[in-house]
Structure 1
Amino acid sequence: MSAGQVEETGGRRRRRTPEVAEAEIVAAAEALLRERSFRELTVDEVMRRTDLSRPSFYVYFRDRHHLMLRVVEHVGAELRTMSQRWYAGSGDGPAQAREAMEGFVEVYAQHGAVLRALADAATDDREVERVYTGLVHEFVDVTARHIEKEIEAGRVLPLDPKETARALVWMMERYLNRSMGHEPRTHRETVADTLTTIWTRVLYGAS
């Protein structure tokens, strides 16, 4: 099938755009990753969570790894939006960092189980590792550039921007996965407070 795909649903023919069909498959994969590991994820089970036929999967995705790329892109887009609260802002660094941390916690509160499943899969699946670590490294890079600007503006004392960014971002990734991706979850406000304290004390010396 191609654009304007038609599917049989309850005896009636339902037409959907390629964008809608792809989004439906991605949503089904995210739902399954909240319940099981990536290793247990199959194309059959994903497609059973949709109104699409199994062959439709291969219209939009090459394989499960290609699907995971789309899942990471979907969640990563939300994380990027939240990060803009700090990286694209100006003025009071600690206050903007607090807003950004609250945004990250909000995304993990919604997608924590999915991100945990992806992080777990990255430990023994090279393709998932490439996609997942690529997302984390993207945040390392933008954090390093932001720290450089803050140093130039005199708001942060001189330090190694790249290594500091790498330590902070990977620490945050592990902490969010453990606190928001597993049950029982840590309270959102506690997680946001903890991350804000660490980031602002390292960068701004703020109490």
Structure 2
Amino acid sequence: MATERTATKARRIRRLPSDAEREILDAAEAVLAERPYRDMSVDELMRRTGMTRSTFYHYFRSLDEVAIALMRRVQGEMMDVAMPWIDAGHDEDPVASVPRAIRAVAEIYARHGRVLAAIHEASFHHEAVQQAWRDGILEDWIRAIAEQLSAQRERGVTRVRNAPEIARALLLMNTSVFVERLGQKQPPDSAESVADTLSEIWVGAIYPEALAEQRASRPRRRTTP
């Protein structure tokens, strides 16, 4: 009896709104790391948090809103680590910062790979999730990268002309590769190898002269007769 009263009391602990929302998102991430989005339920999320079902609807109107909030949380982490290139100024070497930014983003994706792959799959069947990705997160990335490309073009660092479309193509490529190699594939590839491949494509598309110089400076392999 004492154990039951203690458990009940623990479940009734008051939480700050930010803590309650974070716990729900953490529970959703744990579920999506184990099973597809379609198998997630409100009851299971709240059972994992120890909060009531009605509490869920105080913070979210649907599971789609949970997926969107979780997606935005991880994408926020990615944007933060990409800032050294996105905000690169006159004193920064943008060619060197691209691989660092992509590797940092890949490492974050790898930590949340199963979850992001599950949300990506859900976006094909849930319009709200798809819209949040296409019209929200993706457009934020495109805008930030396109602005940097335009600024670099003015400084003569790159010759890219249609910055928004180049940014869109590169970002969609990253998403597809991340989902397939760091999310769906089990075991996943290393974030480092994935980032190296993507970095070479980015540098080649944005800074082709720099990539040519890098390749020319590499020692040539000797061939044996």
Normalising by structure 2, report the TM-score: 0.84
Could you say if the C-alpha distance between residues 92 and 43 of structure 1 is closer, same or farther in structure 2, counting changes exceeding 3 Å?
same
Residue number among 198, 201, 221 corresponding to 1:198 in the alignment: 201
- DSSP-derived class of the 1:82 partner: helix
Could you say if the C-alpha distance between residues 195 and 9 of structure 1 is closer, same or farther in structure 2, counting changes exceeding 3 Å?
farther
Q: Which has the higher strand share?
A: 1
What is the count of residue pairs matched by the alignment? 200
The percentage of aligned residue pairs carrying the same residue is 33
| Corresponding residue for residue 15 of structure 1 | 14
Structure 2 counterparts to residues 108-187 of structure 1, below 5 A? 108-133=109-134, 134-182=136-184, 183-187=186-190
Q: Do 1:9 and 1:51's aligned partners in 2 also have CA atoms closer than 8 Å?
A: no
How many Å apart are 1:158 and its aligned residue? 3.8
Q: Which has the higher helix share?
A: 2
Matched, 1:99 2:100: yes
| Corresponding residue for residue 222 of structure 2 | none
- DSSP-derived class of the 1:135 partner: helix
| Corresponding residue for residue 88 of structure 2 | 89
How many Å apart are 1:80 and its aligned residue? 1.3
How many angstroms apart in 2 are the aligned matches of 1:94 and 1:165? 16
CA RMSD of aligned residues (A): 1.5
How many angstroms apart in 2 are the aligned matches of 1:130 and 1:117? 16
Q: Do 1:118 and 1:132's aligned partners in 2 also have CA atoms closer than 8 Å?
A: no
- DSSP-derived class of the 2:112 partner: helix
Q: Do 1:65 and 1:127's aligned partners in 2 also have CA atoms closer than 8 Å?
A: yes
How many Å apart are 1:193 and its aligned residue? 0.8
How many Å apart are 1:54 and its aligned residue? 1.7
- One-letter amino acid of the structure 1 residue matched with residue 196 of structure 2: D
Could you say if the C-alpha distance between residues 178 and 197 of structure 1 is closer, same or farther in structure 2, counting changes exceeding 3 Å?
same
How many angstroms apart in 1 are the aligned matches of 2:37 and 2:8? 33
Could you say if the C-alpha distance between residues 9 and 117 of structure 1 is closer, same or farther in structure 2, counting changes exceeding 3 Å?
farther
Gaps of 5+ in 1: 1-7
- DSSP-derived class of the 2:103 partner: helix
Compare CA radii of gyration and give the structure with the larger one.
2
Q: Do 2:64 and 2:126's aligned partners in 1 also have CA atoms closer than 8 Å?
A: no
Q: Which stretch shows the higher mean deviation, 189-198 or 131-140? A: 131-140
- One-letter amino acid of the structure 1 residue matched with residue 99 of structure 2: R
How many angstroms apart in 2 are the aligned matches of 1:175 and 1:9? 48
Could you say if the C-alpha distance between residues 16 and 158 of structure 1 is closer, same or farther in structure 2, counting changes exceeding 3 Å?
closer
Gaps of 5+ in 2: 215-225
